[in-house]
Amino acid sequence: MYSKSLVPLAVASVVTITTALVLVFFYAPLDADQGFVQKIFYIHVPMAIVALCGFVAGGVFAIRHLRSGDRSWDMRSYVAIHMSIILGLAVLITGAIWAKASWGHWWLWDEPVLVSFLVVFLLYCVYYPLRFSIEDPDRQARYSSVFAITAGAFVPLNFMAVRLAEKYTHPRVLSQTGGSLPGEMRLTFLVALLGVGLLFVTLWKLELTAKHASMQLKRLRNRARVAA
Amino acid sequence: MIAGARAILRKDLLIELRTKESVPAMVLFSVTVYVLFHFGLDRDSLDGELASGVLWVTLLLAAVIGVTRLFAAEREQGGIDGLLLAPVDRTSLFVAKAAALFVFLTAVELVAVPAFALLLLGPGLGGALPELFVILALANLGVAAVGALVAALAAETRARELIVPLLLLPLLVPLLIACAQATEPLLRQDAGPEELGRWLSLLSLYDVVFVLLSIAVFDFLLED
Amino acid sequence: MPALPLDEAGKYVAAAYVVFVALILIYVAIIGAKIARIDRQISDLVEDDE
């Protein structure tokens, strides 16, 4: 039942994340401005990037579902979006913790990453009520895919708009991803990003396994009932 | 395709003219919200950012009402299935519904924007009218496209009245940002467009993306 | 704002990482339990067949 790649993926995730944690706390230098609090950056930004990729992947899977009519693509889309929403919640919580530690407020409207994420999160939360208020499974899958594609196209537009609207007074600190980071920080960041990405794929496959198993169970039950 | 779209559009406009259910409600709602803002903000007149924000948020909230009712006629008379049996392809249906929504929004704005100028706006509207028309036209296009899509998405769910605002409003955030930023310098004491090009470009990009996307994706909705 | 002293900053950083780890563990636990339950039900059904 478990796909063959699940165990190596899980091992790779654990190894990468452990390495990343070691690097964060023992290798990466202390940031001159923010001090120790900057370490949150190594967990917050990778989660944000992976969540965004997850939402876009959900949209891509949805396109494949609509074109082929094969519902397994819808399942992949659903799990990707579902997990990205959870990651998104973690992004918002860690972002708030970072904001409180750095600036004294639990929220910052000046951080375009954080603000866009709030809007994206609010949008994707509607995925569940939309999906589960439609009873016919075929229609449910189709409408969910339409939503996933619309929302996936929305994400980059939203980031663009929020970033454009940002007033130019505050420096964008959270969003420093690759450009201006010194070497050791960049390496740590990339390892952390890889770790979170691998973790996402591992958990995604794990949940897909659970879903297939429950569908198989349903099929077996139906067959047993018919035979009886 | 055009003939089918035009037929549906004419039917929708005739129904609205006869029953007057959506547009007057949206206008009334807008004016009520202006009154709420007056009391909520405790201000007699607004200008600049505040004026721009109040105007656009009110218009978008009124749009929610229009979107929720977009397929109401079909639903109430069991007509959605009838429409689908007819030889009309879904793209025509989308174009017709979006066009209807565009017309309704324009009608609402013809009353709601002057009402805003009368009730809450400090500086006059006069100098900035041409730019305002352009912004409103582009905004209506975007709201019409996204609104028709959301209306169809929510058309057959049981929780329609909840899902429409929850879906529509986040999707309209980029449009709101562009419109509010573009309108803000027009509503200042020393009115004059600033950086209009940048915000109009964002607005146009938004419109293009969502019109194309909605047309592409609409075929998969309302199918049986 | 000047950087927080190490002991105070530590609390916030720890909180952030705890959120991350807790999320993973809770998620894995839920999915693991679900799979275990389904496994059990499948083997029950298979037994009934025999």
Q: Is the pLDDT of residue A160 over 70?
A: yes
The nearest CA of chain B is from the CA of A162 a distance in Å of: 7
Per the prediction, chain A carries an average pLDDT of: 85
Domain boundaries, chain A: 41-174+181-227
How many interface pairs between A and C have CB atoms less than 8 angstroms apart?
Answer: 85
At residue B100 the predicted structure's pLDDT band, cuts being 50, 70 and 90, is very high
SS3 for B80-116, per residue? HHHHHHCCCCHHHHHHHHHHHHHHHHHHHHHHHHHHH
- Round to whole Å and give the CA distance between A82 and A132: 13
Q: How many CA atoms lie within 13 A of A123 on its CB side?
A: 27
Return the structure tokens found at B93.
């249906």
Looking at residue A196, its pLDDT comes to: 93
pLDDT recorded at residue C11: 79
Confidence of residue A178 (pLDDT cuts 50, 70, 90): very low
User: Which residues in chain A have Cβ-Cβ distances shorter than 8 Å to B221?
Assistant: 142-143, 146
Q: Is the pLDDT of residue A179 over 50?
A: no
Residue C2 is predicted with a pLDDT of 52
Question: Would you say residue A25 has pLDDT above 70?
Answer: yes
Q: Give the pLDDT band of residue A213 (cuts 50, 70, 90).
A: confident
Inter-chain residue contact B173 with A146, CB threshold 8 Å: no
Nearest CA in chain A to B209: A153
CA A149/CA A60 separation, integer angstroms? 7
Of A130, A134, A146, the CB nearest to B217: A146
Q: Which chains touch C (3 or more CB pairs under 8 A)?
A: A
B170, B178, B220 member nearest A122 (Cβ)? B170
> Per-residue confidence at A107, pLDDT binned at 50, 70, 90?
confident
Percent of the residues in chain A that have a pLDDT greater than 70, as a whole number: 91
> Which residues lie below 8 Å from residue C30, measured CB to CB, with a gap of 6+?
none
User: Are the CB atoms for A16 and A195 separated by under 8 Å?
Assistant: yes
**Residue type at C46 in one-letter notation:** V
pLDDT for A116-150, tens place per residue?
A: 899 999 999 999 999 988 888 888 999 999 999 99
Average pLDDT over every residue of B76-98? 71
Q: What is the pLDDT at residue B143?
A: 97
Residue B11 has pLDDT above 90, yes or no: no
- Minimal Cβ distance to A157: which of B181, B206, B223: B206
Most confident of B2-6, B118-122, B126-130, B189-193: B118-122
User: Residue B17's pLDDT is what?
Assistant: 81
Judged against a pLDDT cut of 90, whether residue B165 lies above it is answered with yes
Task: Find which of A13, A41, A94 to mutate to test the C interface (most C CBs within 10 Å of its CB).
Answer: A94
B181 chain-A contacts, CB cut-off 8 A: 164-165
- Domain total for chain C? 1
Taking CB atoms and an 8 Å cutoff, what residues of chain C touch A224?
45, 48-49
Is the CB of A150 less than 8 angstroms away from the CB of B171? yes
Q: Which residue has the higher pLDDT, B98 or A40?
A: B98
Q: If you count DSSP H runs as helices and E runs as strands, how many of each does chain A have, helices first?
A: 7, 0
Q: How many helices (H) and strands (E) does chain C have?
A: 1, 0
- Which of A43, A86, A104 is opposite residue C17, by nearest beta carbon? A43
What's chain B's average pLDDT? 86
**pLDDT number for residue A1:** 60
Asked whether the beta carbons of B70 and B151 are under 8 A apart, the reply is yes
* Domain housing C12: 1-50
pLDDT at B73: 72
pLDDT surpasses 50 at A219: yes
- Band of the pLDDT at B186, cuts 50, 70, 90? confident
Contacts of A119 in chain B (CB under 8 A): 170, 173
Does A34 contact C3 at a Cβ distance shorter than 8 Å?
Answer: yes
pLDDT for position B174: 95
Which one, of B90, B170, B195, lies nearest residue A126 by Cα?
B170
Q: Please tell me the predicted confidence (pLDDT) of residue A118.
A: 93
pLDDT band (50, 70, 90) for residue A167: low
For residues A30 and A38, give the distance between their C-alpha atoms in angstroms, rounded to a whole number: 8
Confidence of residue B18 (pLDDT cuts 50, 70, 90): confident
pLDDT (tens place) for every residue of chain C, 50 residues total? 555 556 677 777 888 888 888 888 888 888 888 888 888 887 887 777 76
- Per-residue pLDDT, A169: 45
- Shortest alpha-carbon distance between residue B89 and chain A (Å): 17
DSSP state at residue B184: G
**CB-based contact, A143 to chain B, within 8 Å:** yes
Q: Does A40 touch chain C (CB under 8 A)?
A: yes
Given CB atoms, is A18 within the 8 Å cutoff of chain C? no
Where is mean pLDDT largest: A5-9, A130-134, B167-171?
B167-171
**Residue in chain B lying closest to A138 (CA):** B224
Reported as a pLDDT band with limits 50, 70 and 90, residue A36 is confident
Rounded-to-integer distance, Cα A180 and Cα B26, Å: 50
10 Å Cβ neighbour count for A130? 22
More confident site: B129 or A126: A126
Flag whether pLDDT at B79 surpasses 80. Answer: no
Chain B partners (3+ C-beta pairs within 8 A): A
A182: pLDDT strictly greater than 90? no
Distance of alpha carbon B125 from alpha carbon B118, whole angstroms: 10
Q: Which of A28-32, A157-161, A163-167 has the highest mean pLDDT?
A: A157-161
